[in-house]
């Protein structure tokens, strides 16, 4: 289009738009995203002139348009379902049914006891065994998990970081006993421990020895398992904890750089391991931002890897798995989640993911049922087989808006990465607490916008359903699973050569102490001899100890971001009235029990309640009910707030109430929140729980309800 005609057309558009809007739709920003990126109403070819990269093609550096030249027209993305629950036998049955129905790869979810390196008979995992994932105590469980699933043909992804050594070793030994060699195995082990210290918290050891474990795995896998991905650098959990797209990009890419440098410092060549690194991003509801995020990630990773002078093009090619958001799923009106997941899945595909997991619509209530899992899987099959999407490579290439948005993400993420580098890299940044604090602040700001209705969530703060239909929820009998696991453990310990096991475990302890020896190779030896996950973890814990993250909180962010300050003031006045009557402000202990480290909700509640005037104590993670009660008594709290995400609420809260009675402290009120199925509400209230807050509860409303419960009990 000639320049004069284009300018004339633009002026004509502005005139027409102005009359329609009753104002001036100038080229200035109309609104800002959570990332503080200015978004205009209209983009034109002039915006393409501001790009820092020139026109590119799929499969060619800098890979903005995709890592492969033909993308889905040559090979469709892999359909994965992240699943695991109860026993290995139950999960195996679920896997085989899904594979028969069109699923192409497995993504294994482990229970929290396994993540934290505890055997199922450990006293600290009473409410965690078989909840939120499958219980794996030894190679015998792993063999059952993959029974009749040929590991030389099936790509297997395992989300494991804390107990990564015994779990990966168990997978390798399982394959051996199937007759499958290590070099035949394909798939991914997450092995991204740095992000655990930022958000998910399923770590075991301190940061430095944890990085050594990651390095040993990269080295071993690069040598013996050429088809296997040794690290899946995870932005997903950062997003789930509240990170913006900029934070997710900068911190996950920073983590990737740290793993690369760890391998390089061991004398490894970049081309010997970089082609088998992969990423894992979360996909939320900001449709265009999520597409741009994947495009920006490929550009930035390509640029960062050039520092190490790669010779292979694959070394600087970012490949990624994606998962639709779990946080965006709502307990209220849950069938809306089918639409949310579809939108997020479409964004991942249009952004160029290599594999995808779609969450089930009922995961804000509990583990997926067979029905909800089928719908989630069929969502991808419909996108692949009915929508015609694979026929065109990167349809957003050249889009005025998409290219401009990708550029904005590149620039903003590069700025944050530079701050990380100035701190000395991600390990130093994590130790300083900077990433964790930034993510928690973002989560608090967003929650304030949702609670006030500035960010609309259909069915939560707008268009609420008056008569919600009940939804079937999968329920796991935690006690039965634990008893079955303990029975298996006793059998294994009885039938093995204990002297041989002790020898291999001592070798692991010695390697941790001296720094000599590959920890994965030594773990494989121990697992072959039937050492358990807990025993392998303990062998290293003897030297390194268990890491306890410092308890930190932010203040002022929630209240500062809340648009309606009058509503905040009203709650503060009610708290002042309570203080006048009782003699002090209401004091709450916010706690998570068991091995669930997902603390976004707990941290947001803690900072919001503090901003509104409560005295707030935050219990350390991974507490037993006895420890929570003891700390609550010592701190003289009025109320204990239990945050639950991993389905252990029935077992753990029942035990908590029992301990309160034993300590004659039933005057301490107990409230609960998180992912708690509505069908469990009556049970919890029968135990004496005063209030239950499901996902989507506005925090000022929750604060008022807690105050009301205290007026009754005090």
Q: For 32-36, what is the mean pLDDT?
A: 90
Q: How far apart are CA 712 and CA 218, in angstroms?
A: 57
- CA–CA dist 625, 302 (Å, integer): 48
* Burial state string for 227-266 with b = 16 or more CB within 10 A and e = fewer than 16: ebbbbbbbbbbbbbbbbbbbbbbbbbbbbbbbbbbbbeee
How far apart CA 206 and CA 189 sit, in angstroms, is 20
Strand partners, 670: 640
- Give the Cα separation of 678 and 473 in Å (integer): 10
Q: Provide the CB-side half-sphere exposure for 485 (13 A, CA).
A: 36
Per-residue pLDDT tens digits for 141-152:
999 999 999 999
Query: Does residue 7 carry a pLDDT above 70?
Result: no
Q: Residue 575: pLDDT above 60?
A: yes
Helices (H), 36-111: 71-74, 88-100
The predicted structure's pLDDT at residue 25: 57
Chain segment 278-307, per-residue pLDDT in tens: 999 999 999 999 999 999 999 999 999 999
CA 271 – CA 160 distance, rounded (Å): 25
Rg over alpha carbons for the chain, rounded to the nearest Å, is 26
Query: What is the H or E stretch that residue 31 is in?
Result: strand 31-32
Q: Is the pLDDT of residue 411 over 80?
A: yes
Place of tokens 């099959």: 381
Sheet holding 187-189, edge to edge: 228-229, 187-189, 156-158, 105-108, 78-83, 355-357, 320-324, 277-283, 231-234
Q: Which of 68, 293, 321, 592 is catalytic?
A: 592
Task: Copy the structure tokens of residue 387.
Answer: 């929508």
The residue annotated as part of the active site, out of 47, 128, 333, 596, is: 596
Q: Is 638 annotated in the active site?
A: no
- Which residues, other chains included, contact 481 with Cβ-Cβ below 8 Å and sequence gap of 6+? 86, 87, 120, 129, 130, 135
Tokens of 117: 């390196």
End-to-end CA distance of the chain: 75
Q: Concatenated DSSP letters for 593-620? A: BTT----HHHHHHHHHHHHHT-EEEEPP
Which positions ≥6 away from 192 have C-beta within 8 Å? 161, 214, 231, 232, 233, 234, 255, 259, 280
pLDDT at residue 375, rounded to an integer: 95
Q: What is the mean predicted confidence (pLDDT) over 93-122?
A: 88
| Predicted local distance difference test score (pLDDT) of residue 1 | 42
User: What CA–CA distance (Å, rounded) separates 608 from 9?
Assistant: 50
- Cβ count near 636 (within 10 Å): 12
pLDDT over 70 (residue 598) = yes
- The residue with tokens 């030994």 is 173
Listed in sequence order, the DSSP H helices in 286-433 are 287-305, 336-351, 370-385, 400-422, 426-432
**Rounded to whole angstroms, how far apart are CA atoms 349 and 347?**
5
Beta strand 31-32 with 38-39 is antiparallel
Q: Is the pLDDT of residue 2 over 60?
A: no
Any idea which residue has 């297997």 for tokens? Answer: 156
Helix (H, G, I), strand (E, B) or coil at 284: coil
Catalytic option among 115, 131, 357, 598:
598
Pick the catalytic residue: 47, 72, 76, 82?
82
Mean pLDDT of 68-85: 86
Mean pLDDT across the stretch 493-508? 97
Give the pLDDT band (50/70/90) at residue 119: very high
Q: At what angle do helices 649-662 and 478-495 cross, to 10 degrees?
A: 90
For the cut 60, the answer to whether the pLDDT of residue 714 exceeds it is: no
d(CA 565, CA 664): 40
How far CA 645 is from CA of 365, 370, 383, 570, 585, in Å, comes to 9, 21, 30, 30, 28
Which residues are registered as beta bridge partners of 693? 673
Q: Is residue 60 a contact partner of residue 69, using CB atoms and an 8 Å limit?
A: yes
* Catalytic site includes residue 224: no
The answer to whether residues 129 and 120 touch, using CB atoms and an 8 Å cutoff, is yes
Rounded distance between C-alpha atoms, residue 188 and residue 286, angstroms: 28
Rounded to whole angstroms, the Cα distance separating 116 from 568 reads 39
- CA 194 to the chain's CA centroid: 13
Active site residue 118: no
Please state, for a pLDDT cut of 90, what percent of the chain lies above it.
69
Long-range Cβ pairs for the range 505-513 (8 Å, 24+): 505/531, 505/535, 505/536, 505/539, 506/539, 508/536, 508/539, 508/540, 509/539, 509/540, 509/542, 509/543, 512/209, 512/539, 512/540, 512/542, 512/543, 512/544, 513/543
Distance CA 136, CA 706 (A): 39
Structure tokens at 381: 């099959």
Mean pLDDT of the chain: 91
Per-residue burial over 587-616, b if 16 or more Cβ lie within 10 Å, else e, is bbbbbbbbbbbbbbbbbbbbbbbbbbbbbb
> What integer pLDDT is reported at residue 373 of this predicted model?
87
The answer to whether residues 444 and 561 touch, using CB atoms and an 8 Å cutoff, is yes
Token reading at 123: 């006293």
pLDDT for 192-218, tens place per residue?
A: 999 999 988 999 999 999 999 999 999
Sequence-ordered list of residues with C-beta below 8 angstroms from that of 212, at least 6 positions apart, any chain: 515, 519
Q: pLDDT tens-digit profile of 172-191?
A: 999 999 999 999 999 999 99
Nearest residue to 326 via CA among 336, 337, 317: 337
* C-alpha pair distances (Å), 161 with each of 142, 215, 389, 603: 17, 12, 34, 22
Q: How confident is the model at residue 26 (pLDDT cuts 50, 70, 90)?
A: low
Q: Which of 236, 259, 362, 615 is catalytic?
A: 236
pLDDT surpasses 60 at 713: no
Tell which residue, 275, 312, 298, 314, has the closest CA to residue 352.
298
Predicted pLDDT of residue 559: 85
Residue 237 appears among annotated catalytic residues: yes
Q: Is the pLDDT of residue 27 over 50?
A: no
Average pLDDT over residues 401-410: 96
Cis peptide before 576 (omega within 30 of 0): no
pLDDT average, residue stretch 63-81: 93
Q: How far apart are CA 478 and CA 486, in angstroms?
A: 12
Q: Catalytic: which of 76, 131, 195, 237?
A: 237
Burial grade of 651 (CB within 10 A; 0-12, 13-18, 19 or more): buried
Q: What is the mean pLDDT of residues 2-13?
A: 65
Nearest to residue 356, comparing CAs of 384, 336, 330?
A: 384
Q: Output the pLDDT for position 465.
A: 83
Q: Report CA torsion sign: 553, 557, 559, 561.
A: negative
Burial of 160 (C-beta count, 10 Å sphere; 0-12/13-18/19+)? buried
Q: How confident is the model at residue 126 (pLDDT cuts 50, 70, 90)?
A: confident
pLDDT number for residue 127: 83
- Give the integer Cα–Cα distance in Å for 511 and 495: 27
């Amino acid at each position: 289009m000639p320049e004069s005609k284009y300018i004339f057309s633009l002026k004509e558009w502005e005139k027409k738009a102005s009359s329609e809007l009753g104002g001036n739709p100038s080229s200035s920003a109309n609104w800002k995203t959570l990332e503080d990126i200015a978004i205009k109403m209209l983009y034109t070819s002039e915006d393409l002139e501001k790009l820092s990269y020139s026109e590119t093609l799929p499969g060619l550096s800098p890979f903005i348009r995709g890592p492969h030249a033909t993308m889905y027209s040559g090979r469709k993305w892999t359909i994965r379902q992240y699943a695991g629950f109860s026993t290995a036998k139950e999960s195996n049955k679920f896997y085989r049914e899904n594979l028969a129905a069109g699923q192409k790869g497995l993504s294994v979810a482990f229970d929290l006891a396994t993540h934290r390196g505890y055997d199922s008979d450990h006293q600290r995992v009473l409410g965690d065994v078989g909840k939120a994932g499958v219980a794996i105590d030894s190679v015998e469980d792993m063999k059952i998990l993959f029974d009749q699933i040929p590991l030389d043909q099936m790509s297997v992804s395992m989300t494991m970081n804390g107990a990564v050594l015994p779990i990966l070793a168990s997978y390798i030994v399982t394959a051996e006993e199937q007759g499958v060699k290590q070099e035949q195995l394909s798939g991914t082990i997450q092995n991204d421990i740095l992000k655990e210290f930022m958000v998910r918290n399923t770590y075991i050891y301190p940061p430095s020895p944890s990085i050594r474990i990651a390095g040993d795995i990269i080295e071993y896998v690069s040598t013996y398992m050429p088809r296997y991905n040794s690290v899946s650098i995870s932005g997903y959990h950062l997003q789930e904890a509240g990170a913006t797209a900029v934070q997710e990009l900068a911190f996950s890419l920073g983590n990737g750089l740290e793993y690369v440098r760890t391998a390089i410092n061991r004398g490894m060549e970049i081309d010997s391991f970089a082609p088998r690194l992969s990423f894992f991003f979360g996909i939320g509801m900001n449709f265009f931002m999520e597409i741009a995020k994947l495009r920006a990630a490929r550009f930035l990773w390509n640029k960062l890897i050039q520092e190490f002078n790669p010779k292979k093009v694959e070394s600087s090619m970012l490949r990624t798995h994606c998962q639709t958001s779990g946080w965006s799923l709502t307990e209220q009106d849950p069938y809306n989640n089918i639409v949310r997941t579809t939108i997020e899945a479409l964004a991942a595909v249009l952004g160029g993911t290599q594999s995808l997991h779609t969450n089930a619509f009922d995961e804000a209530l509990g583990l997926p049922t067979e029905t909800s899992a089928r719908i989630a899987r069929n969502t991808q099959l419909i996108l692949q087989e009915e929508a015609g999407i694979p026929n065109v490579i990167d349809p957003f290439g050249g889009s005025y808006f998409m290219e401009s948005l990708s550029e904005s993400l590149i620039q903003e993420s590069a700025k944050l990465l530079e701050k990380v580098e100035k701190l000395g890299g991600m390990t130093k940044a994590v130790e300083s607490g900077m990433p964790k604090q930034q993510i928690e602040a973002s989560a608090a700001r967003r929650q304030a916008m949702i609670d006030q209705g500035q960010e609309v969530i259909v069915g939560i703060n707008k268009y609420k359903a008056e008569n919600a239909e009940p939804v079937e929820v999968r329920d796991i009998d935690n006690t039965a699973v634990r008893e079955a696991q303990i029975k298996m453990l006793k059998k294994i310990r009885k039938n093995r050569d204990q002297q041989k096991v002790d020898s291999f475990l001592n070798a692991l302890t010695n390697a941790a102490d001296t720094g000599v020896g590959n920890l994965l190779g030594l773990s494989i030896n121990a697992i072959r001899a039937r050492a358990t996950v807990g025993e392998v973890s303990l062998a290293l814990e003897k030297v390194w100890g268990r890491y306890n993250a410092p308890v930190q909180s932010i203040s002022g962010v929630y209240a500062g971001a809340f648009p309606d300050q009058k509503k905040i003031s009203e709650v503060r006045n009610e708290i002042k009235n309570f203080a006048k009557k009782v003699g002090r402000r209401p004091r709450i202990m916010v706690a998570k029990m068991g091995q669930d480290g997902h603390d976004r909700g707990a941290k947001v509640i803690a900072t919001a309640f503090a901003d509104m005037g409560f005295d707030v104590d935050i219990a350390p993670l991974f507490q037993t009910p006895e420890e929570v009660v003891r700390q609550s008594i010592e701190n003289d709290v009025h109320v204990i707030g239990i945050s639950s995400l991993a389905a252990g609420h029935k077992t753990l809260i029942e035990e908590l109430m029992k301990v309160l009675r034993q300590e004659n402290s039933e005057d301490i009120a107990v409230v609960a929140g998180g992912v708690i199925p509505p069908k469990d509400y009556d049970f919890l209230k029968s135990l004496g729980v005063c209030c239950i807050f499901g996902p989507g509860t506005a925090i000022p409303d929750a604060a008022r309800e807690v105050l009301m419960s205290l007026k009754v009990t005090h």
